[in-house]
Amino acid sequence: MLITAIGVSMFLQNLSQLIFGSEGKMFPTVVNIDPITVGDKQISFITIITIIVTVLLMIGLQILVKNARIRQCAPSLKILRRASSWV
């Protein structure tokens, strides 16, 4: 199944390159805010937003794993692993 998914992915990528071309395309900026300067380095606003969203998504994933029913399936996986070693 995984090999099929990889093959379909490659097919779709090549098809989209044939249709739209392989050169890069620029997207218009949604928010035009000046970058923040820290020392001699500049950090763009979109980079800060990306870091904040990433941290929030990681916190949300941790909460999901700790509180959801997904965690309740873990003991049964241990039993299945032990049972599969008997076969």
The three state secondary structure string of 12-76 is HHHHHHHHHCCCCCCCCCCCCCCCEEECCEEECHHHHHHHHHHHHHHHHHHHHHHHCHHHHHHHH
pLDDT value at residue 52: 96
Tell me: pLDDT of 86 over 70. no
Question: Which region among 1-5, 34-38, 57-61, 66-70 has the lowest average model confidence (pLDDT)?
Answer: 66-70
Task: Report how far residue 77's alpha carbon sits from residue 39's, in angstroms, rounded to the nearest whole number.
Answer: 51
pLDDT value at residue 72: 61
Cα angle 39, 55, 58; round to 5: 155
Q: Nearest-CA neighbor of 70 among 61, 81, 82, 57?
A: 61
The pLDDT tens digits for 11-63 are 999 999 999 888 888 888 777 888 888 889 999 888 999 999 999 999 999 98
Q: What is the pTM for the complete model shown?
A: 0.50
